[in-house]
């Protein structure tokens, strides 16, 4: 088994849905299911643009319901072919001596190879490569190569775009409207075809343009009302391959810098490179992603699934996503289940993202922040304060949870109370806090988000006796939405919600310290403290009660429902009600042990005045484990986690189940409707935070590995507060950057000059004729880490460099490339750079270590730019210059009392990686008065040009701006 390739042999119409979802290709901006390009009833094609929703009303059970869906966009895949005299090829029913489909995870390609025997015995080999470009997020392409194996003659090929599509991917939604596209138009010209459509109510204009590269030219185009295609005739000569490529651009009116999506799509399709270059750039982009995301485990099967999960998480949420206004869709961009809505599943995905792509996490948190006004309005309307986030969120942040849902087992439409899952806000706040721990940064808007959520939860609390209570909510276990027989929904004191509220209010206090301008008034803080000490938690039988009154529920006869995952549906179909029983859909109380370390949880419970010890945790786990049907893929993730330290073999079974969630479709038919992104992200986070025991603290990382026996070696690279760290661990040892250790303390990374450290390491190793293992042994590090350094060129710590230099019989300077004088500007620009606007706080962080910058001012001899060696002192830029030198002279020419405005720029451009940043400070320059210069002397500011430059100049910033340029 190849750990990087998911292989399907044969064509099986019955499992096409699952294959389509699992073979989806995407780039974080849009994704296309792995449907066959040819027609067939088994096909459920889907192309989804992140954040593109549309709302329609439908009549169900005598009521009008409104649903917002992630829109299925026009299908760009159609391509079929016919041998002389035969009908258009479709795989269903065709004679296929060979049919294989490979999802290449490393390179982000979907490959298909088939041999088709037509009615006349002609055998044609068809090879297809498909991509949705990770390098250019507007492009997708499919290359098809035909070989006539035992015949020669004309092969007709038809390639098109189909705009007659609707949201039809989920059977139980089919009685609801899904015809979201309207105003379709299509046409052709200048060797391109195009199709446009508009979403019905959100009025998003979407345009696709396609170019066919074929030896016989662009083909004969025919445009219908909602479809366009080109016809081609390829003259096949037996045994000689002929290739035809379809390159497609997808643009919408939601894209920045677009006024006419059709014109933009046509432009992009026209100037897109051919398949070879497109693929190379795409593969390079994936290579860069894998360097940041690599997570390797022993064993090809586990390893393959881990790669698959990383792959699908990154196809849904990539660096391209960071700049978009989108959240974490529960089922990826891979299908229509849950309508592309955003639930609490980000809780399972962001902790993994934070340590690899913190900028993507930040973008996803911004999706929530942008909807803060809506969440505040919702809180106000519910008579609360702060921000109440919806259980299901879509385009504008209103509550999107359906009011009725269909029980497919009874055929009845039932009230849906799941919007009472207020805990979704806790997930958002948890992610804000953990992003802060991983990056050290807490932008003011993020602090505002956390504080407003805290405010909401505090306002939910009502004082009853000497405790605070939260009434009328639902926990993550969606089976329990009301007390048996109650006339209104909701439960009191869901333990998960209550304890996490106490946690949140403690974090809110810390957040207020980080963002003093947003700090709540003293009385509000005092109430938060009070709640954090007096929240109510119920207990029964020596365990934490899921909610008040749980103890009085009946025990279910589990033998009657063994292996039934959706007990709610089964019981309702039997005329019963799951609310009557001690039966949970998924982990609820146990979520506490998932999110909090045992020590953290015990501290909170004791702080609340409840006696709590490890025994309580163990008993509670065992209790709910027996009473859970695992009707959500998230359940296995959480159970694997909470059992990891108490019952390792059961933990492994749950982990295996979580790994198999989609690849084996453990919930029975749900994968076809979209992957389970939370479970995918959760398995990855489980490997790092649970099995490796990675604890992300304030300025420090700790490892406490307890790997399952089946895992052997686990290695990964992470980014923590600006440092790139490589971790590998087995059962006995954990290594940080190749050296045995369980702690990593924040440190300043070393800046290499050329960042081709990796190549230099390989060069010296080969020069000495040594293997990686030999060099690693000499340098006292793991071979895995050396391999990582050779491939990724991430700067290690100085200790590591010294040991490597010694092992390779060279100098640190040489390894860092400081003996190489590169002419400026030699490196070409990056193929598809991403330009990120930096916030002032980040700019200050970047320039604060000091170094070389350039001062620009309007000098007496014209515009002048001079390099200076600067330091940052009390928010000002300070450097030295010579009295009566050009700067001194020019700065003195200012009239008395008039400040001279200067520009000051610092940049760090890495030519080898074509990455870097620049920060521009604008402000007034002053001479530092002699009485203050004395203090500065201690700061050790040395002049760039050496010598006696005794004059200190200070720039007081009025504006600080910056940009970072990076690839994917």
**Residues with catalytic annotation?**
478
330 binds ligand BGC per the rule CB under 6 A:
yes
| Closest separation in Å from C-beta 661 to ligand BGC | 11
Residues 691-720 that bind ligand BGC (CB under 6 A): none
Query: For residue 372, which phi and psi values (nearest 5 degrees)?
Result: -60, -45
Using the rule CB under 6 A, is 678 a contact of ligand BGC?
A: yes
Q: Which is nearer to ligand BGC, 297 or 637 (CB)?
A: 637
Which tokens go with 302? Answer: 């586990």
Provide the minimum distance between the beta carbon of 907 and ligand BGC in the complex, in angstroms, as a whole number.
Answer: 43
Task: Find the binder of ligand BGC among 586, 629, 671, 752 (CB under 6 A).
Answer: 586
- d(Cα 503, Cα 862) in Å, to the nearest integer? 60
Min CB(405)–ligand BGC separation in Å: 11
Of residues 415 and 934, the one with the C-beta less far from ligand BGC: 415
Nearer to ligand BGC (CB atom), residue 219 or residue 678: 678
Six-digit token string for 375: 């969440």
Asked if 725 touches ligand BGC (CB under 6 A), the answer is no
Query: Smallest Cα–Cα separation from 137: which of 314, 310, 307, 352?
Result: 314
User: Cα 350 to the chain's mean position, in Å?
Assistant: 7
Pinpoint the alpha helices (H) of 440-515.
444-460, 495-514
Binding segment for ligand BGC (CB under 6 A), chosen from 168-176, 342-350, 646-654, 766-774, is 342-350
Q: Which stretch binds ligand BGC (CB under 6 A): 338-346, 553-561, 907-915, 957-965?
A: 338-346
Tell me how far apart the alpha carbons of residues 294 and 352 are, in angstroms, rounded to a whole number.
Answer: 11
Task: Give least dist CB 482 to ligand BGC, A.
Answer: 17
Q: Which is nearer to ligand BGC, 476 or 957 (CB)?
A: 476
CA distance 149 to 132: 30
Q: Map the footprint of ligand BGC across residues 291-310, applying CB under 6 A.
A: none
- Residue from 343, 430, 483, 561 in contact with ligand BGC (CB under 6 A): 343
CA 176, 180, 184 angle in degrees (round to 5)?
Answer: 145
Q: Is 173 near ligand BGC (CB under 6 A)? A: no
How far is residue 938's CA from residue 738's CA, in Å, rounded to a whole number?
38
Burial 556-575 (b: 16+ CB within 10 A, else e): beeeebeeebbbbbbbbeee
Under a CB-based contact definition with an 8 Å cutoff, are residues 520 and 456 in contact? no
Going by their DSSP bridges, the two strands 851-859 and 900-910 should be labelled as: antiparallel
- Collect all residues with Cβ–Cβ distance below 8 Å to 307 and sequence separation of at least 6: 3, 4, 105, 106
**Which positions from 54 through 93 interact with ligand BGC, judged by CB under 6 A?**
none
Stretch that binds ligand BGC, among 139-147, 340-348, 558-566, 610-618 (CB under 6 A): 340-348
**What's the per-residue H, E or C state across 889-910?**
HHHHCCCCCCCEEEEEEEEEEE
Q: Cβ of residue 309: shortest distance to ligand BGC, in angstroms?
A: 15
* Sign of the CA dihedral with 702 first, then 706, 707, and 712 last: positive
- Terminal C-alpha separation, the chain: 29
Q: Which of residues 449-488 bind ligand BGC (CB under 6 A)?
A: 476, 478
Q: Count the neighbouring beta carbons within 10 Å of the beta carbon of residue 517.
A: 8
Shortest distance, CB of residue 677 to ligand BGC, whole angstroms? 8
386 sits near ligand BGC (criterion: CB under 6 A): no
HSE toward the beta carbon, residue 743, CA cutoff 13 A: 6
Q: Shortest approach of ligand BGC to residue 105 CB, angstroms? A: 23
Distances in whole angstroms, Cα of residue 1 to Cα of each of 22, 99, 303: 17, 18, 10
Distance CA 742, CA 749 (A): 19
Stretch that binds ligand BGC, among 8-16, 222-230, 343-351, 358-366 (CB under 6 A): 343-351
User: What is the smallest separation between the CB atom of 427 and ligand BGC, expressed in angstroms?
Assistant: 9
Nearer to ligand BGC, 115 or 627 (CB): 627
Interface residue with ligand BGC, options 20, 281, 345, 673 (CB under 6 A): 345
The reply to whether 344 sits near ligand BGC by the rule CB under 6 A is yes
Smallest separation, CB 569 to ligand BGC (Å): 12
List of residues 6+ apart from 358 with CB closer than 8 A: 435, 438, 439, 719
566-585 binders of ligand BGC (CB under 6 A): 585
- Cβ closer to ligand BGC: 132 or 578? 578
Strand ranges, E, within 651-713: 695-696, 700-702
Residue 296: burial class (beta carbons within 10 Å; 0-12, 13-18, 19+): middle
Tell me if 727 sits within 8 A of 715, measured CB to CB: yes
Torsion sign across C-alpha atoms 518, 522, 523, 525: positive
Stretch binding ligand BGC (CB under 6 A), from 35-43, 341-349, 546-554, 944-952? 341-349
Closest CA to 275 of 188, 207, 189, 211: 211
Q: Give, as ranges, the residues between 628 and 667 that touch ligand BGC (CB under 6 A).
A: 632, 634
Indicate the residue among 628 and 715 with the shorter CB distance to ligand BGC: 628
Give the footprint of ligand BGC on residues 528-557 (CB under 6 A): none
Q: Which residues, including other chains, have CB under 8 Å from residue 813's CB and lie 6 or more apart?
A: 819
Question: Among 512, 408, 501, 397, which residue's Cα sits nearest to residue 459?
Answer: 501
Options 138-146, 337-345, 351-359, 728-736: segment touching ligand BGC (CB under 6 A): 337-345
Of 238, 196, 195, 188, nearest to 217 by C-alpha is 188
Q: Which is nearer to ligand BGC, 587 or 906 (CB)?
A: 587
Closest separation in Å from C-beta 328 to ligand BGC:
10
| Residue whose pair of structure tokens reads 């001690």 in the numeric block | 582
Total of chain residues touching ligand BGC, rule CB under 6 A? 12
Do you know the residue count of the chain? 968
Is the distance from CB of 364 to CB of 326 less than 8 angstroms?
yes
Q: Are 430 and 592 in contact (CB under 8 A)?
A: no
Query: Residues 107 to 146: which contact ligand BGC by CB under 6 A?
Result: none
Angle at the Cα of 76 (from 74 to 77), degrees rounded to 5? Answer: 130
Task: Map the footprint of ligand BGC across residues 198-257, applying CB under 6 A.
Answer: none
Least Å from the CB of residue 344 to ligand BGC: 5
Say if CB 815 and CB 761 are below 8 A apart. yes
Q: Which stretch binds ligand BGC (CB under 6 A): 336-344, 354-362, 810-818, 834-842?
A: 336-344
Q: Which is nearer to ligand BGC, 343 or 550 (CB)?
A: 343
For ligand BGC, the closer CB: 331 or 536 = 331
Binding of ligand BGC by 328 (CB under 6 A): no
In contact, 203 and 194? CB cutoff 8 Å: no
| Binding span for ligand BGC by CB under 6 A among 8-16, 47-55, 183-191, 339-347 | 339-347
Between 176 and 424, name the residue whose CB sits nearer to ligand BGC.
424
Residue 12: which residues within 8 A CB-CB, separation 6 or more?
Answer: none
The residue (of 633 and 737) whose beta carbon lies closer to ligand BGC is: 633
Please, what is the minimum distance in Å from the beta carbon of residue 506 to ligand BGC? 25
605-634: which residues touch ligand BGC (CB under 6 A)? 632, 634
Q: Which is nearer to ligand BGC, 302 or 427 (CB)?
A: 427
In the bound complex, what is the minimum distance in angstroms from residue 632's beta carbon to ligand BGC?
A: 4
* Interface residues toward ligand BGC, by CB under 6 A: 330, 338, 343-345, 476, 478, 585-586, 632, 634, 678
């Amino acid at each position: 088994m190849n750990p990087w390739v998911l292989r399907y042999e044969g064509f099986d119409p019955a499992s096409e849905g699952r294959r389509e979802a699992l073979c989806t290709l995407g780039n974080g901006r849009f994704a296309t299911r792995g449907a066959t390009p040819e027609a067939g009833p088994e096909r459920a094609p889907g192309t989804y643009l992140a954040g593109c929703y549309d709302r329609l009303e439908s009549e169900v059970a005598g009521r009008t319901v409104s649903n917002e869906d992630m829109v299925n966009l026009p299908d760009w895949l159609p391509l079929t072919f016919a041998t002389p005299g035969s009908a258009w090829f479709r795989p269903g029913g065709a004679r296929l001596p060979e049919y294989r489909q490979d999802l290449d995870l490393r390179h982000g390609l979907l490959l298909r190879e088939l041999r088709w025997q037509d009615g006349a015995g002609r055998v044609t080999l068809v090879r297809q490569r498909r991509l949705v470009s990770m390098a250019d997020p507007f492009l997708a392409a499919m290359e098809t190569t035909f070989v006539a194996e035992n015949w020669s003659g004309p092969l007709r090929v038809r390639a098109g775009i189909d705009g007659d599509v609707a949201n039809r991917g989920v059977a139980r939604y089919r009685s609801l409207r899904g015809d979201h596209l309207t105003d379709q138009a299509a046409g052709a010209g200048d060797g391109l075809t195009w199709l446009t459509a508009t979403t019905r109510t959100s009025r998003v204009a979407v345009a696709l343009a396609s170019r066919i590269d074929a030896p016989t030219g662009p083909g004969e185009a025919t445009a219908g009302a909602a479809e366009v295609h080109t016809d081609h005739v390829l003259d096949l000569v037996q045994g000689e391959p002929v290739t035809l490529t379809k390159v497609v651009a997808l643009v919408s009116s939601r894209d920045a810098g677009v006024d006419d999506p059709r014109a933009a799509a046509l432009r992009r399709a026209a100037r897109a490179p051919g398949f070879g270059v497109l693929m190379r750039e795409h593969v390079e982009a994936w290579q860069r992603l894998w360097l940041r995301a690599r997570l390797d485990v022993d064993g090809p099967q586990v390893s393959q699934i881990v790669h698959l999960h990383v792959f699908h998480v990154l196809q849904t949420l990539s660096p391209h996503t960071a700049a978009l206004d989108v959240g974490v869709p529960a089922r990826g961009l891979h299908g229509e289940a849950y309508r592309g809505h955003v639930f609490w599943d980000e809780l399972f995905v962001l902790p993994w993202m934070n340590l690899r792509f913190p900028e993507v996490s930040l973008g996803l948190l911004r999706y929530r922040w942008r909807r803060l006004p809506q969440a505040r309005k919702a809180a106000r309307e519910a008579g609360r304060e702060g921000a109440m986030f919806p259980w299901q969120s879509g385009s504008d942040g209103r509550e999107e949870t359906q009011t009725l849902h269909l029980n497919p087992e009874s055929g009845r439409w039932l009230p849906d109370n799941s919007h009472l899952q207020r805990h979704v806000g806790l997930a958002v706040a948890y992610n804000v806090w953990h992003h802060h721990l991983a990056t050290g940064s807490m932008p003011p808007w993020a602090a505002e988000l956390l504080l407003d959520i805290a405010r909401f939860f505090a306002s939910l609390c009502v004082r009853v006796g000497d405790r605070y209570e939260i009434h009328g909510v639902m926990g993550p276990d969606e089976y329990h939405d009301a007390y048996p027989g109650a006339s209104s929904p909701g439960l009191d004191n869901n333990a998960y919600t209550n304890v996490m509220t106490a946690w949140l209010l403690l974090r809110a206090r810390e957040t207020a310290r980080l963002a003093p301008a947003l700090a709540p008034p003293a009385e509000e803080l005092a109430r938060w403290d009070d709640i954090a000490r007096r929240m109510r938690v119920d207990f029964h039988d020596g365990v934490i009660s899921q909610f008040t009154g749980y103890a009085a529920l009946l025990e279910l006869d589990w033998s009657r429902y063994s292996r039934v995952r959706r007990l709610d549906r089964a019981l309702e179909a039997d005329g019963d009600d799951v609310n009557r029983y001690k039966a949970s859909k998924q982990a609820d109380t146990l979520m506490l042990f998932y999110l909090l370390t045992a020590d953290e949880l015990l501290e909170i419970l004791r702080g609340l005045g409840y006696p709590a010890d490890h025994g309580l945790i163990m008993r509670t786990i065992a209790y709910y484990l027996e009473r859970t049907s695992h009707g959500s893929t998230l359940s296995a993730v959480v159970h694997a986690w909470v059992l990891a330290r108490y019952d390792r073999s059961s933990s492994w079974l749950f982990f295996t189940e979580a790994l198999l969630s989609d690849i084996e479709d453990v919930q029975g038919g749900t994968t076809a409707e979209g992957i389970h992104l939370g479970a995918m992200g959760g398995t990855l986070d489980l490997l790092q935070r649970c099995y490796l025991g990675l604890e992300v603290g304030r300025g420090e990382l700790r490892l406490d590995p307890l790997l399952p026996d089946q895992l052997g070696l686990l290695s990964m690279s992470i980014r923590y507060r600006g440092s790139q760290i490589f971790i590998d661990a087995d059962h006995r040892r954990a290594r940080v950057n190749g050296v045995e250790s369980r702690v990593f303390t924040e440190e300043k990374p070393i800046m290499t000059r050329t960042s081709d450290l990796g190549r230099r390491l390989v060069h010296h190793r080969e020069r000495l004729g040594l293997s990686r293992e030999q060099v690693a042994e000499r340098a006292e590090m793991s071979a895995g880490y050396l391999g990582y350094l050779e491939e990724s060129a991430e700067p290690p710590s100085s200790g590591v460099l010294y040991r490597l230099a010694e092992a390779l019989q060279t100098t640190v300077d040489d390894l860092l490339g400081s003996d190489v004088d590169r002419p400026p500007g030699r490196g070409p620009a990056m193929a598809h750079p991403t330009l990120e606007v930096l916030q002032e706080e980040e700019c200050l962080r970047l320039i604060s270590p000091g170094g070389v910058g350039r001062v620009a001012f309007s000098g007496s001899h014209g515009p002048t730019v001079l390099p200076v060696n600067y330091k940052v002192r009390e928010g000002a830029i300070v450097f030295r210059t010579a009295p009566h030198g050009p700067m001194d002279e020019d700065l003195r020419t200012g009239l008395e009392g008039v400040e001279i405005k200067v520009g000051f720029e610092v940049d760090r451009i890495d030519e080898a990686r074509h990455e870097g940043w620049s920060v521009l400070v604008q402000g007034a320059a002053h001479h530092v008065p002699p009485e203050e210069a004395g203090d500065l002397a201690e700061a050790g500011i040395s002049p760039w040009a050496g010598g006696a430059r005794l004059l200190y100049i200070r720039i007081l910033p009025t504006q600080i701006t910056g940009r970072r340029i990076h690839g994917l």
